[in-house]
Structures are given as structure tokens and as C-alpha cells.
């Protein structure tokens, strides 16, 4: 692939993202202001957006009459119907181009990127999409970060202190009886001397699972203190509730090998995990899709195969709208 082809592919992926966002909320003035800033980057951005607008009817229809089904690998060529691009969406976009000033657009863009910029300032390591990043710490410990995860680390005479800022990490801690290794995850703290364990930071709480050694989990605000041994795990939320679980040590942090082990978890969580490994966009449509519970093993390094497996086992339909958009609906 040439540099020019790669640039166009990257711009087309960004345009596809705008398609999904505007399709969900076509009258959002903030989105249109942000889009104006994006379009001003180059003629190629405007051309890509024009091409992408013509696909909006496909997403609005969200099938099932046409598109490519990943569940059965077949293209519904006989069912393809002609469609007219959604001119009303195009007209609203153009109206916002004229109505929103450049300064306002710049402010909106700043608000959009600010959280990501501050995360980069605070983090010592950030893993990209589809990337498992291994971090070698100065004390000899190793940390594996799952895609999209971020952490910081500081070592001094008082101990070794890491902070999981986002996502999931597996810690293989070098033993040092004189300097405990602490990991802060939101309001909770995990303390060890030498061990291997996983921490998963979620919107509603956190989960800790131990592969070997002994781990202490403390959540002082909720007066929680617990010790975990190999094969033990704890899930806690920020309201103070917690659940202790038993897990297979050999399945802890399976994402390091591209495997996702799921037991009675909502499909929405599985899709959220797949999004971290997928360079495009996975969208759900329909009531109850995200809340269905599933059990299984999924290949994170092949998100399309994982989606097809979900679709086959749980009566879902997965459609390819562009090379970078998948829509999951109930069959």
C-alpha cells in the first residue's frame, strides 16, 4: 500500500466515525462544529465525507435487506435495493457549516480532545488499538497493558507505586520485601511484595484476579480489605459492593495471548472488548442486544471471527456497512 493509499484509508475511517456519530444525533450542533474543523483539514477530508454521506442510508436501514453478513459469510446480492442518499442530513450538515464560526469550532474540538491530552500527560505508558504493550519497570517488574490502557509508575525509598489510569493490566512483580509494590486503581489500592495478578478498571468499579502469590486489596472509603490467593478474584464497584469469585489461573489475562474468556457476561461487555482490538467501529442496534449474557472463548486478534461466533451462537446478525463499520442487531 502506498503512502497516498494509506492516507486515504485513514481519512475514510475517520469519516466513517463521523457517519456513525451524526447518524445517532444529526441535530447536535457540537458534533457539526467538530465536523467543520475536521473538514477544513484538506480537500481529501471533504471528498471522503461526501463519499461517506452516501452510505448513511445503509446504516439508517440497518439492514436486513442488504449488506454483507459476517455470520454466514454471504452477500445478499439478490436483496440489494436502490436507495437515495439522505439529502436532509446533507442539508443539515451544510447549514451547520455556514452557521458555526471557526473559533467556536476550535473550542468544541478542544473540549473533545482535552481528556485524551491530559491522559497522555499523566501516563508513562499507553497501549494503542489492538496492541498489547509490555512495560519493563526500573525495579525489574513487568507490566502488560491491554489495548487502550494507560498507567504511570514511580519508584522511591518508600516503595514502588503504579497507577492504572485506564483499562486493564497484568503485573508480574519482582520480589522486594523492603519495598512493597502498590497499584492505585481509582479509590482502591492493591499491595503486593512479589506476585502476578491482573487489574481491570471499569466505569462502575474494578476487578482483581491473582495468578500467583498473595495480593491485598484495600478500599478504605468503604472499609473493605481483602486478601486474594492464586485462583481468587474480587469485583468491586464504587458504591462499596463486592463479589468474590474463583477463576482458573491459566485464564487470567488471556488477552495477552489474544484470547477473551467470558462466563455469563453481557454481550455489551464483549463488544466493548472487541472494539479495543478493532480499527473500525462496532455499533449495536435494537433493544436488548447489549444485555444478553454469553459464555465462550473469543479470538481478540480476529474481531470479525469473534463477531461471527457471537452471531451464530446467540441469534444475532452482524453486517458490514463499510470496511470499518460493523452493525450488530437481533436476527
Q: Is residue 220 part of a domain?
A: yes
- Measure the CA–CA gap between 235 and 223, rounded to whole angstroms: 15
**Model confidence at 112, in pLDDT bands (50, 70, 90)?**
very low
Same domain, yes or no: 88 and 178:
no
Between residues 197 and 40, the one the model is more confident about: 197
Does a structural domain hold residue 127?
A: no
Query: Does 292 fall in a domain?
Result: yes
Query: Largest alpha-carbon pair distance within the chain?
Result: 71
> The domain that contains 218 carries what CATH number?
2.60.120.1440
Residue ranges of E strands in the chain: 68-69, 125-126, 133-136, 142-145, 150-156, 159-166, 168-172, 181-185, 188-192, 196-201, 205-212, 215-219, 224-228, 232-237, 242-246, 259-266, 281-284, 293-299, 316-322, 325-330
The Cβ-side half-sphere exposure at 102, using a 13 Å CA radius, reads 3
**95 and 169 belong to one structural domain:** no
Q: Are residues 51 and 157 in the same domain?
A: no
How does residue 34 score in pLDDT terms, banded at 50, 70 and 90?
confident
Mean pLDDT for 272-296 is 86
Do 12 and 81 have their domain in common? yes
Mean per-residue pLDDT over the chain, rounded: 77
Beta carbons of 306 and 274 less than 8 angstroms apart: yes
Instruction: Classify residue 71: in a domain, yes or no.
Output: no
> Virtual CA dihedral for 242, 237, 278, 197, nearest 10 degrees?
-50
- How far apart are the C-alpha atoms of 213 and 172, rounded to whole Å? 10
Containing domain of residue 81, as a range? Answer: 3-62+77-122
Return d(Cα 111, Cα 118) in angstroms, integer: 11
**Are 30 and 106 within 8 A, CB to CB?**
no
Same domain? 218 vs 261: no
pLDDT, position 43: 75
Distance (Å, whole) CA 117 – CA 131: 19
More confident residue, 286 or 245: 245
Evaluate whether residue 225 is within a structural domain: yes
Q: Check residue 202 and give its pLDDT.
A: 82
Q: Which residues of 268-286 are buried (b: 16+ CB within 10 A; e: fewer)?
A: eebbebbbbbbebbbbbee
Cα dist from 137 to 144, 157, 164, 171, 306, whole Å = 11, 15, 14, 10, 33
DSSP annotation of 249? G
According to the model, what pLDDT value does residue 28 have?
Answer: 78
Considering only residues 40 and 115, tell me which one the structure prediction assigns the higher pLDDT.
40
Angstrom distance (rounded) from CA 131 to CA 154: 23
Q: What is the pLDDT of residue 97?
A: 40
The CATH number for 285's domain is: 3.55.50.30
The sheet that has 232-237: what strands, in order across it? 133-136, 142-145, 168-172, 196-201, 205-212, 232-237, 242-246
In this structure, the answer to whether residues 18 and 81 fall within a common structural domain is yes
Q: Classify residue 281: in a domain, yes or no.
A: yes
For residue range 216-268, list pLDDT tens digits in order.
Answer: 999 887 778 899 999 999 998 877 788 999 999 999 999 999 999 988 888 88
Q: Has residue 90 got a pLDDT over 80? A: no
Q: Which of 328, 283, 322, 325 is nearest to 309 (CA)?
A: 328
Whether residues 99 and 191 fall in one domain: no
In this structure, the answer to whether residues 109 and 152 fall within a common structural domain is no
Please tell me the distance from the alpha carbon of residue 49 to that of residue 38, in angstroms, as a whole number. 10
Nearest of 191, 249, 185, 251 to residue 217 by alpha carbon: 191
Average pLDDT of 151-164?
Answer: 89
pLDDT at position 62 over 80:
no
The structure's pTM equals 0.66
The closest alpha carbon to 221, from 184, 275, 263, 177, belongs to: 184
Domain match, 245 and 310 both: no
CB of 258 closer than 8 Å to CB of 300: yes
Cα 40 to Cα 213: distance, rounded to the nearest angstrom: 55
Amino acid at each position: 500500500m502506498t503512502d497516498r493509499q494509506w492516507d486515504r484509508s485513514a481519512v475514510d475511517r475517520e469519516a466513517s466515525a463521523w457517519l456513525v456519530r451524526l447518524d445517532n444525533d444529526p441535530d447536535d450542533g457540537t458534533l457539526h462544529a467538530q465536523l467543520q474543523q475536521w473538514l477544513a483539514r484538506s480537500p481529501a477530508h471533504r471528498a471522503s465525507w461526501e463519499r461517506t454521506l452516501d452510505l448513511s442510508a445503509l446504516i439508517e436501514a440497518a439492514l436486513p435487506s442488504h449488506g454483507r453478513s459476517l455470520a454466514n459469510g454471504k452477500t445478499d446480492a439478490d436483496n440489494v435495493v436502490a436507495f437515495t442518499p439522505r439529502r436532509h442530513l446533507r442539508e443539515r450538515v451544510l447549514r451547520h457549516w455556514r452557521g458555526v464560526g471557526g473559533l467556536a469550532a476550535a473550542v468544541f474540538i478542544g473540549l473533545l480532545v482535552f481528556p485524551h491530552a491530559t491522559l497522555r500527560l499523566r501516563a508513562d505508558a499507553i497501549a494503542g488499538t489492538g496492541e498489547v504493550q509490555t512495560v519493563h519497570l526500573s525495579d525489574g517488574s513487568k507490566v502488560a497493558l491491554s489495548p487502550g490502557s494507560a498507567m504511570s509508575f514511580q519508584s522511591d525509598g518508600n516503595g514502588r507505586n503504579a497507577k492504572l489510569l485506564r483499562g486493564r493490566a497484568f503485573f508480574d512483580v519482582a520480589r522486594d520485601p523492603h519495598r512493597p509494590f502498590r497499584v492505585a486503581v481509582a479509590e482502591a489500592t492493591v499491595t503486593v511484595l512479589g506476585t502476578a495478578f491482573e487489574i481491570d478498571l471499569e466505569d462502575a468499579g474494578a476487578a482483581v484476579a491473582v495468578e500467583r502469590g498473595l495480593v491485598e486489596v484495600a478500599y478504605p472509603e468503604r472499609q473493605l480489605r481483602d486478601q486474594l490467593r492464586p485462583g481468587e478474584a474480587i469485583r468491586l464497584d464504587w458504591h462499596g459492593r463486592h463479589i468474590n469469585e474463583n477463576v482458573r489461573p491459566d485464564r487470567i489475562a488471556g488477552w495477552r495471548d489474544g484470547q477473551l474468556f467470558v462466563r455469563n457476561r453481557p454481550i455489551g461487555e464483549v463488544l466493548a472488548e472487541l472494539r479495543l482490538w478493532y480499527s473500525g467501529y462496532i455499533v449495536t442496534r435494537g433493544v436488548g442486544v447489549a444485555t444478553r449474557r454469553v459464555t465462550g472463548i473469543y479470538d481478540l486478534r480476529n474481531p470479525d471471527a469473534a463477531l461471527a461466533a457471537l452471531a451464530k451462537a446467540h441469534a444475532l446478525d452482524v453486517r458490514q456497512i463499510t470496511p470499518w463499520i460493523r452493525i450488530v442487531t437481533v436476527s
